[in-house]
Structure 1
Amino acid sequence: MDDQAKLNKTTSAPPQASAQVPSPDSSQEDLPGSKHQSAASTTLPSPRHAFPPIMNAYGQWTKLKSFNLCGATEKDRLYQVSLHTGYSASAPLGTRPGVLLHNGMSSKDPVLAAAGYDSQASFYSFNNQSVVLMPPLPGAAARAGDFVTEQMPAVIRGGLLVFPFSVELDSGGKIQHEKFEWRKFKSGVDGSAKEGGFRLVRLPSSGSTRLGGEPDTVASSSPAGGDDSEVVACLAWCKLFPTFKHAFTLQLLGRGQSGELGERWSLMVVITALRLWALRANHKTSKSAIAGGQKTAGS
């Protein structure tokens, strides 16, 4: 081979890899921004930690902008909770004050769930009605930052102060709304919650079944429901002094503790418990405040 042939061989372009043409089945469906983008291609945040049976809130309450949601101890930090004042239109609550549960230990982490007032008139003395913002159901066509809105009103029923809500449960592969309500109990009623708090009760529905398919004839998992309702969580306030650091303990009970009710239910319990704490901090969980709100709404 002469010198010119050798030169041509060494300077010729290398062969190109053959381009892979997408098949019709995988054409533009999963490309970001495509109008054919599938729901499965959108990554929505899911809780970075499983919610343990016992959770505690710790913070520097004299400089309160955020605090930590922890496990059984203060060192077992799970999530950061930040307080939204409503003075800036920050997503997802807009100008409504409330609480934001971040999916991490920083206020810069994505918001996993939120809860606040149901209207912009949040500073009215008797406004204690709440909205809860939850992530869309798995498989729903949604984008990061989308939320599903649920209501949590404040009512007095039969002498009880209650905060009802509903949440989706997976019952044998079928998604259905089930109703729950937080019922207030006074200090001294429960030895494990000396400062008082709320119990979460699962409400029976006509024809409802256990998640395992059995008829739902439930008994109380904890004393204090006042009837045969199933108690699935307890929110216990802590004495502020002398530490002024530990705000509350949230405990999942019965089928709530076993995980049978699912991760979405646990998230709903956590965000509504945080909302109750915020309402209590603003003196809006008393019967007089709730009665005033009902009277104002009815006028």
Structure 2
Amino acid sequence: MGTAPTKTARGRIRAIIVDPRSLAMLPAISFAVFAAGGVEAMLGFAIVAPLVVFACTWGAVRPSAILVDARTGLTNIDGVANLLEQAFDHDASLQTAALSICIDELDAIGERYGTKTQTRVQSDVVVRIRGMLRDGDAIAYAKEDEIRIALRPVKHLGIETCIQIAKRMQDNVAHPNSVDGHFVSVTISVGFALSARLDAPTADKLLAGAASAMTEARRNGPSAIRFYTKEMDHLIAAPNELAQSIQRALDEGEITAYYQPQVTARTGDITGFEALARWEHPEHGTLPPQRLSFDHSHSRTVRTAK
């Protein structure tokens, strides 16, 4: 990805090249080259100059090129990523952050009030959050209940500032919502990642970190705020790995029922049986029911055994 000074220099050269005013200097530069080296120098300049321009502007993303989602009018997730990459390339000394926002219990709102009200709630949340953003920030839909935001790069951006931004967003969204004649209570959970706290930050790393923090916020929600740390990757991976193992165990018939008799203490008579799940693990032997417990919110793909 290159060192910070190299990226900063390339970003500044790129900014000069893509500036239309640079074209005004082209005749003067061409004349100077001809005066210094004649026709051969001019030919060399004609060959080398396009290569230099191409190398310096490779990967450049102009504001007009940022993609827009036709359905919502929001910048799509690729546009947010492009904005972050452009920020890193332009000046690596600046700091930015990505926020991942989840509308809590959006599915439940749809089930209770209908899909029309659910869609109106989504739009209302986006309008309220979008109205709080500054020029240079970008907002996008990631999923129906998730929003991504890239903050405009600044010289200093710390955890406390991002927490304050997230809290203001929560307060703004939590104002009374009257949608289609229904009074709907809405909260959001927010996760964010800071470029200053990542090793060799990239747009993908920043967005993935914000998504991990948002997942942790959802676990502690509703209306929670979390910032990304490396430890979150392990916390999120563990339930997913367990879910995959359980799915394999179900498919392979490793989970069986043990029947424990229920006995009346007074007479000693057997009144029934309680079915207890046991995992006959091929490597670890018989595992108790506790090993089958996990947070279903992190894995919605586990199928029920037949």
TM-score using structure 1 length? 0.24
TM-score (norm 2): 0.23
Q: Which one has the bigger strand percentage? A: 1
Larger radius of gyration: 2
